[in-house]
Chains A and B, each alone.
Chain A
Amino acid sequence: MPETTIPAAQIAGDKFEPKIVAFFCNWCTYLAADLAGTSRTRYAPNIRVIRLMCSGRVDPQFVLDAFAKGADGVLIGGCHPGDCHYQEGNYKALRRVRMLKRLLKEMGIEEDRFRLEWISAAEADRLRVAVNDMVEKVRALGPLRLQVPPEVFAEEVNA
């Protein structure tokens, strides 16, 4: 993940700005984000949106990889139950997320860092509320610091 996209001020500043990777479904939540943009809705600029064709495309590997590479939180946005463009991709996402949440907890990653939201193409405001709420919760938790450069890995091994 290219770290260069993060403004230096966010890293250097004394106020912690959470980095949140957001996987948005092409048919609903991504369009909600689009709508939020065209209607000049303001929300926390902490999310990095990755557009996928369906929330069901979110392989749990993507979530772990985001955390391992420096994300402080991961947000998945999909279509409301019953509305999936591919019939049941969002249900598949839901099933994986329910188990993945438990797995992350066992690995010491707080529940508020990982979230699944159903947001339709018309719900720009729901997106604003969800993103703002998540950013505040993650900000309160502080940085995750899972990204491990080799010298830190050695420290972690020796501790």
Chain B
Amino acid sequence: MAETTQSSKPKVAFYWCAACGGCEEAVVDLAENILDVVGAVDIVFWPVALDFKRSHVEALADGSILACFINGAVRTTEQEEMVQLLRRKSKLVVAYGACSHLGGIPGLANLWDRKSIFQAVYHEGPTTVNPEGTEPQTCFKEDGRTATLPGFFNTVRALDQAVDVDYYIPGCAPTPKVTLAALQTLLSGNLPAKGTVLTKDEALCEECPRKDSRPEKLTLSEFKRPHQVLIDETKCMIAQGLVCLGPATRGGCEALCVSGNMPCTGCFGPTSRVHDYGAKALAALTSIVESNDEQEIDRVLAAVPDPVGTFYRYSLPSSLLRRKRTAA
């Protein structure tokens, strides 16, 4: 290695792509535990917190970073370049958080494409004033100077659709407990199988505090949205008619949302036995509608106005269909 004075502590890097910043917050949320982490590792790159540049990463030897934690989906060419660079420099690449793991909320943009997104944002936005119809360009020249912007992909990808990923830490955002346990696992050197999602591998209902209130035969005659009901704080969400995706979602978050009296929206994604989260969530909820009549079933299901946004809220890019079909 070039720098001889570097400590022998394992090197760790953090990077963000198309994300809200909540995952960065989640790392800081480790609170005093972060001191143990910082004590055990050398952070060599972390744009949100430390002043390292891309050139510093480029100067590192390939494979010299032990683990790189990348949050956010891959939306732009810059993000693709950065994750490819970090992949080269890192022994382990960890997809951190739902966007990186499954595509996340930014992944819902796969219901549109570059053209329709630019149309909505730069031409049709209610507060947009753009008489010349200007759109962002990847390269712009004026007075002999050149300004560049990253390219905007047509399709949003989860991290593993852009580079090889070793482990996943799920959640929107991952909880401090899940994060810390995953860090300890990685630093212990006792590595699980490649591709492992570093938390429990059973449905959320298993750890739900309201598990015992679930009726023997769970049926639904009406879907209700959280603002339409006073949610009973002790009773199973689905038994109250709420769209709770716990049955289809991986546990490990300790049922944080349910404990806060809100139904699960599925941010931890599927368990390892499931290939398509949304399909499984859809099956879990619709099968229990208490009617055998087509019209009545349609009436009950109409209370879920947006099936893709409900069942694929965090996972559209990693679903079997990945994006809305582009006209052939």
By a beta-carbon cutoff of 8 Å, the part of chain A in contact with chain B is 59-61, 63-65, 67-68, 81, 88, 91-92, 94-96, 98-100, 102-103, 106-109, 142-146, 148, 153, 156-159
Contacts and interface: CB of A to CB of B under 8 A. Distances in A.
Contacts of A99: 282, 286, 301, 304, 307
B286 A65 contact: no
Interface string B172-198: 000000000000000000000000000
B3 interface: no
Contacts of A67: 320-321
B272 to A, nearest CB: 14
Contacts of B286: 95-96, 98-99
A143 B154 CA distance: 22
Nearest to B280: A61
Contacts, number: 105
Contacts of B320: 61, 64-65, 67-68
Contacts of A143: 328
Closest 7 CB pairs of A and B: A159-B154, A108-B325, A60-B279, A103-B307, A64-B320, A68-B320, A61-B279
A80 to B, nearest CB: 12
B325 A157 contact: no
Given A59-B279, A106-B307, A156 B326 contact: yes
B225 interface: no
A11 to B, nearest CB: 16
A45 B153 CA distance: 40
Nearest to B288: A95
B113 A65 contact: no
A107 B283 contact: no
Interface stretch (B19-27, B199-207, B253-261, B289-297): B289-297
B321 A68 contact: yes
Given A95-B286, A95-B287, A159-B326, 17 more contacts: A59-B283, A61-B275, A61-B280, A64-B321, A65-B276, A68-B320, A68-B321, A96-B287, A98-B297, A103-B278, A103-B282, A103-B308, A106-B307, A143-B328, A156-B323, A157-B154, A159-B153
Contacts of A61: 274-276, 279-280, 283, 320
Interface centre among A68, A81, A99 (most CB of B within 10 A): A99
Interface centre among A88, A109, A157 (most CB of B within 10 A): A157
A146 B326 CA distance: 9
